[in-house]
Structures are given as C-alpha cells and as structure tokens.
Chains A and B, each alone.
Chain A
Amino acid sequence: MKNKIAKIVTTLAVVIGVGFSGLATVEAGEDNYTYTYDYWGDVQESPDVYSVAKVYTYKDLGLSQNISNAESLFVAGDNVYICDTGNNRIVVLQRKGADDFEVVREISQIKGADINTLSEPADVAVSDDGYIYIADRGNARILKVDMDLNYVLQFNKPVDLALTEDSVFKPDKIVIDTAGRVYCSAKGINKGLVKYENDGTFSGFVGATRVAYNFTDYLWKKFASQEQRAKMESFVPTEYDNVYMDSEGFIYACAGGMEEEDLKAGTVDAVRKLNMLGSDILVRNGAYYDGDFPVYGDLYWGGGGGISGPSYFKDVTVLDNDLYVCLDQNRGRLFGYDDQGRMVYAFGGSGNMDGYFRKPVSIEHMDKDLLVLDQLDCSITLFIPTEYGSLIYTAMDQFEHGEYDAAQASWEQVKMLNGNYSLAYIGIGRSLLRKGEYKEAMPYFEAKYDDENYSRAFQQYRKQWIRENLIGIVVIILALFLVPMGIGRVYQIKEEIDNADIFKLRRK
C-alpha cells in the first residue's frame, strides 16, 4: 500500500514537473528576437535584420565620467552628439571605423552668453550650415552657437496667451529645417510644436496631436458641477515625445502613453508625419484583414514580466529610403515601417543582453546602421544590417531607382531566406507589375492578400486578354444573338410551310 502511494506521488511529481517544463519551453519559443506580422496579424518569425556590432559604455568611448541620464542622440555626418543630460554636457563622438568611435570633444561651456554653462541639455541638433542648436532645458532656452561654441542666438519662452506667465519653459526636443527655423516640443505645451523663425521670433504652434475623448466621459462632464469638472481629466492633446526631420523637411513626431482603445479605434496616432502646415500625411496602407495596418508597434499587448499596454514610441528616425524606425520604450523594441506604412521588421526586447534594452530613449541612424541610447544602461548600441537586412534594403533601393529586374531578383533572394515574409512576395509582384508581366504578378499579390496591387495587375491583364481575344469574343456574342434568331427563323418557315394552303388542301 505504501509503495503504491509513493508511486502515485512520484508520478504526480513527474507529471507536474513535465507540465511546468513544457510551459517554460513554450514561453521561450514565443520570444523570438526578430519578427513581422502577416496579413492576419499573426506573428511570423524572421531571420535577424540587424545584428549588434558593439555596445559602447563610457569606458569603451574613453570618457572619464559615466554618462548620466542621457536623453538624446543626434547624428550629423560622421559625428554623433550625445546629450549627457545628467552631467550638463554634450559629448561629440566621431566614427573612425566600422565599429570604432572616438570622443572628439565635450561641450559644457559656451562663449558670449549671459549664462555660459548648460543645464540639463535635453536635445541637440546641427544645421546644414554648421550651427549647433541646444535645447538647454534647465535654463529655459534654446541656444544657437557656431562650431567654435560662440553664442549666436537664443530662443526664449514663446509669448502666447495659452501660456501663463509663471509657467516654466522646458524645451525638450528640437529639429532645425534648412531655413534655420526651429521646431521644438516643450514639456507642458500641448498645442503642438513651438515654431521659431530663424531670427528667434516665435511664430506659432504647428501640428497638435489629435484629441481623443470618449462619449461617456463627455456626458459625465455635461452633468458634472464646476468643482467636479475641475477634478476630471480634461480632453487635451498630448505632447510629442520626440521629433525627427527627414531629408525632405517633413517632421516625424511620435508620442506614447495613449489609451489602448483610442489607439485601436485609430483616433490617436503613435507616429505622425507633419508637413509645413502641421497636418498629418503619414501613409498607412499596409494590408490587414481588419482595415489598414496600424502603425503603433506591437499588435498584442499582453502583460508579463511587469510589462503591459501598447508600445510606447519614444523616438523615431527616418532612413534615406523613407523607411522609419520607431523605438518602443515599453518593450525595448525597434519597429521599421516603409513609406506605405507596412511593417518591415520588428526586433529587440527588454533585458541586459546585447541587443536588449532597459530604458531606450533615443534612436539615430548612420546610413543604414542604427544607434540606440539606453538611459538606464548608460550605453549606446550599434546595430548593423545583416545579410538578410541588407538584401531587403537593396531590393527597396533598386525598386525605387527603377531597376525592376534587379529588385525582383533581390526580393526572390529575400523570399528564399524568409518564406513567411509578406513584403518579399509583394515586392516581387510589384516588380513584375512594373515590368508589365501582369499575369505573373497576380499570384504573388493573391498569396499575401494585397487587393489594390492585385486589382491593378488584374485590370491590365484583363485589358490585354480582351485585346488578344477580341475576335473570339465578338464571334461568341454574335453567335449568342444569331443562333436563337436563326432557329426562330427556321421554325417560322417550317410553320409557314405546314400551314400553307396548298399542303392543307392536299391533306384534306
């Protein structure tokens, strides 16, 4: 009897053990580094698009003092500017080799201003004509200095009715356009980006985020008393977390911390592309069974490991081929979208390993390489494209330049490496479409449910087919009319003969 109980206990233990280990392996299997979504929104594992070349800490760079609370990166040519916010300095690195960065200088003092030190520099930008702009948050100003750090100009708190006099101006992220105008997202200002002319005058706000409010809140507010209303959350636009100006002068702005249902309903945007008027012109054309593919990072927001909720886009950078990469602070992931708003890749995760992040705050690119700044880890991670990633970029560039044969070949190679990749099929199809091989292009679009491109190809194919078979079609249509008419005529003649008087007479 005892033996039996012992047996049962051991079997139970084994069963439970196997059960738990099974769970563990399933979880490990789900967490793949690089992935994409297919038409149905299912996660498709993918070969790595980027690999970590190196992770740089202050020691690797040769700095004497650790980076503290750094908030932003900026790349100008070969130079990388790190906003070392906690140490009130800006570190300038120069890229000497593939994975070799050297400190060129540290900016903590400027010349010729009232206050010559920096205080909590939040962002830095360099214009094409060689001026450095610094969002000097602690001193409530945006500085414009030349390359030798001589004070040129200062952008102050905007004078606007919406801003009370005692509120402190906190410039956060800045971009400079080719004409020297400054666009700034400031903490506490939710009317959009603060726009300054190149002479330092404030000229208005552009591109406020859309305001989402739900109807029940609105109703409650209608019936609430004055005091209750004051306590409620007001329906105001959110501030942008970061801005980036692409090579054509469009501003990409991202914001996080949106409500889940607003994101799902599409009433708020995680990323926007602003034109000069401040309206959103981001294309969201990715095919998705539930409408267009949403540009907000992860589709599934399940909790786990203390992480839940939608992706929090902290920064965005735009490559030269109009592919933009968004940095998700929530799960430490990078999401690449092409100019049509289709997800090209997603990778990363949170953790301490190389290629994983603890609190990524800023992303920049040098050609196709990506640099990510981690605030908690005080490090910069350099990603370089893998063979697979380079192939995708090559294929995109070739298509952009009209080399459709080459683009098709490159996409075929991508497809060989990753058969689950929707964009490869659509890429092949689009190349064929441009080459005029409509019939060949159709199955590629059909396989990945790209209805618009399929319709385009099919329309041309149908036109071709009708032109080639015109004679046959005309003959069939004529036959459809003539044969019944002919048969009717034959019957008529037969009836006339049958009813003719001569035959009637004879019959009688």
Chain B
Amino acid sequence: MARAYQKEESKEVIKERRAQQKKRYLESLKFGFYCMTHPIDGFWKLTHEKKGTIGAATTILIVTILVRILKLRYTSFLFLQVYWEDINIFLYIASILFPLALWVIGNWALTTLFDGKGRLGDVYMGTCYGMLPYAVIQFPLMIVSNFVTIEEGQFYEVLSVISLILCLLLIVNGLAQVHAFSPGKNLLFTVASLFAMLVMIFILMIFFSMISQGVAYFISIGRELMFRI
C-alpha cells in the first residue's frame, strides 16, 4: 500500500518535471527571438544564465533545413531555378549538417584549449540560435517571391543577402559571448576554426581513402584466392 502511494507520488513528480521541461523548452525557443534582437545580451544569457536548451537549438536547426528544402520548390522560378535532376535530398541536408558538425567540433576543440567558457553543447547552441534569421526572413520571402515580377525582384535579392549576413554576424558574435572572448580574440578563433575545419576535411579524406584502399586490398586477395581454387 505504502509502495503504491510512493509510486503515485513519483508519477506526479515526473508529470510536473515534464511540464517544467516543456515550459523551459518553449521559453528557450522564444528566447531565440530575443537573441536575434539583442545579440550581445541574448547570447550571454543563452549559456551563462541557461536560457537556451539543446532541444530548442535542434528545433531551429531542423526548421532552417526545412525552409531551405521548401525554398527549392516554392520560391518563384524567377529567383531560383532548380535543376531537379541533380537534387539529392540527403546530400542537400548533409550540405548543412556536415559543415555545421565540422564547425562546432572545430571551434570547441580550439577554444577549449584557450580559456573558452563554452562546452560542446554550448557551441552547438550558439551556432544554431544564430541561424534563426535565415528561417525568419527566408520563409516569408519565399511566399512573397510568388507575387512579384522580375523588375520588382531587387528587394528579394537584397533581403536574401541580408538574412545570410545577419546569420553570419549572429553566429560570430554569439560564440564570442558563449566563450566570453573579447571581439579580437573571437575573430582570431573564428578564422582558426575555419582552418580547423579544413584540417578535419583533409584528415577525413585521408582516412576514407586509406580505408577504401585497405578494403580493396583484402577484396583483391579474396578474388585471387577464388580464382586459384
């Protein structure tokens, strides 16, 4: 009897915790817009006051990828011509995820050696929150693009470029806040992270070519044996 009572209580606790988590998730999602409009204050609070969550960051990332895919189909052909024969949806998704992963790992690996306050999750969070303007600007732009002519299309190009520049600035600034770096130091590490990405790509390429050669070696030995027998 006593055990059952205890169980019920823990159920309630779990329920409450879930509700709290949900509330925190929604609030952190909302906090993304605060980050967009108050970049310095927002990104500082994001990790140092635990306003952001990994869940919300992932949501922003997924929304960004979704908007990028939707754009292919629903942007007017005046602004975006798609050669459908060459589109591979998985490669297209990977074209965001792969550089993001390299960036996050590269940045974390470097900054953690040089007094960076951000952990791996924090770097991921800062980067994803910085991508919010892309979805916020590109999605309405995609809809509007269907209601304008080519002569009126100048603003599309301008806004499109603005959204990208905004993302870039937010990410760079965001990481400065996350790591509590001065602007100069941050800039240095941004460039260094880009180099780290290149190095990682280089190592990955060597790795894969070694593996494939190794596999090919064993396959050819196997073939040789098959021919002999």
List A residues at the B interface (Cβ < 8 Å): 8, 39-40, 289, 446, 449, 451-452, 454-456, 458-459, 462
Contacts and interface: CB of A to CB of B under 8 A. Distances in A.
B81 A455 contact: no
Q: What are the 10 tightest A-B residue pairs by CB atom distance, in nearest-first order?
A: A455-B149, A455-B150, A451-B78, A451-B150, A459-B149, A289-B81, A458-B149, A446-B77, A40-B83, A449-B81
Given A8-B227, A40-B83, A451 B77 contact: yes
B151 interface: yes
B202 interface: no
Interface string B138-177: 0000000001011100000000000000000000000000
Given A40-B83, A446-B77, 9 more contacts: A8-B227, A289-B83, A451-B77, A451-B150, A454-B77, A454-B78, A455-B78, A455-B150, A458-B149
Contacts of A40: 83
Nearest to B78: A451
Nearest to A8: B227
Contacts of A449: 77, 81
A458 B150 CA distance: 10
Interface in B209-229: 227
Contacts, number: 23
Contacts of A39: 81
Contacts of B149: 455-456, 458-459
9 contacts: A8-B227, A39-B81, A289-B81, A289-B83, A449-B77, A451-B77, A451-B78, A452-B150, A455-B150
A454 B77 CA distance: 10
A54 B150 CA distance: 48
Contacts of A451: 77-78, 150
B63 to A, nearest CB: 27
A369 B170 CA distance: 65
Nearest to A289: B81
B83 to A, nearest CB: 6
A329 to B, nearest CB: 33
Nearest to A447: B77
Contacts of B77: 446, 449, 451, 454
A172 to B, nearest CB: 43
A8 B224 CA distance: 13
Contacts of B227: 8
Contacts of A459: 149
Contacts of B83: 40, 289
Contacts of A454: 77-78, 150
A289 B79 CA distance: 11
B147 A462 contact: yes
B38 to A, nearest CB: 27
Contacts of A289: 81, 83
B187 to A, nearest CB: 33
Nearest to A40: B83
Interface centre among B81, B83, B149 (most CB of A within 10 A): B149
B74 to A, nearest CB: 13
Interface string B49-80: 00000000000000000000000000001100
Nearest to A456: B149
A40 B77 CA distance: 13
A7 to B, nearest CB: 11
A455 B150 CA distance: 6
A40 B149 CA distance: 22
A306 to B, nearest CB: 32
A455 B151 contact: yes
A456 B152 CA distance: 12
A419 B81 CA distance: 20
Contacts of B150: 451-452, 454-455
Nearest to A453: B150
B155 to A, nearest CB: 15
B73 to A, nearest CB: 13
Interface in B106-138: none
Contacts of B78: 451, 454-455
B145 to A, nearest CB: 12
A247 to B, nearest CB: 33
A446 B149 CA distance: 12
Nearest to B79: A451
Contacts of B147: 462
Interface string B77-98: 1100101000000000000000
A429 to B, nearest CB: 13
Nearest to A450: B77
A456 B83 CA distance: 24
B7 to A, nearest CB: 47
Nearest to A457: B149
A40 B227 CA distance: 48
B24 to A, nearest CB: 31
A507 to B, nearest CB: 35
B112 to A, nearest CB: 45
B26 to A, nearest CB: 25
A454 B146 CA distance: 11
A177 to B, nearest CB: 38
Interface string B174-215: 000000000000000000000000000000000000000000
A451 B145 CA distance: 13
B223 to A, nearest CB: 12
A40 B87 CA distance: 14
A91 B227 CA distance: 73
A452 B151 CA distance: 9
A452 B227 CA distance: 64
